[in-house]
Structure 1
């Protein structure tokens, strides 16, 4: 991961409520063997209420501006659910 503003590769973790809105998404129908059990699923870009923007995964059907909540962060992946 690289900061788009300063190009730093050092980051600090911070707590957030993990609530936000879908900014963008794409639906994955065909995946690698590693993620085949998840298909179909969505990759989402979420604008969190804290002002941060993160990329994650969600199983449910979603639309732009849908409210979502962070369920987990495991193996460097944010997993969201509709609110």
Structure 2
């Protein structure tokens, strides 16, 4: 999984920012981060928009990665806060996670 790291202060973000929110620098480098994390929050979607109707019901999850970055994604599995997960794939710029047994 990729993240952006500010070249000046080291601030990390999953999405590239126009400028660093910590130091206002505009230079970033791409770094690898672990796709393992913990469910921080979630909601279940029962009635989905047409493009996701075949997936319903599914979970929209907020994952706190092992390096403290947070990312939003999807899961087909039912989850609880605190469950351990790992990234399964990135599909159409969307993170898809699965439970770790």
Q: TM-score, normalised by structure 2?
A: 0.70
* Distance in 1 separating the partners of 2:93 and 2:30: 12
Structure 2 gap segments, 5+ residues each: 1-14
Instruction: Tell me the C-alpha RMSD between the 2 structures.
Output: 2.2
1:45 to 2:55 alignment: no
Rg: which structure is higher? 2
Residue-by-residue CA offset, 1:41-83 (whole Å, 9 max, x unaligned):
0000000002210000000010000000001112110000000
Please name the residue that 1:71 is paired with. Answer: 88
Looking at both structures, which has the greater relative contact order when contacts are Cα pairs under 8 Å and sequence separation is at least 6?
1
Aligned length in residues: 80
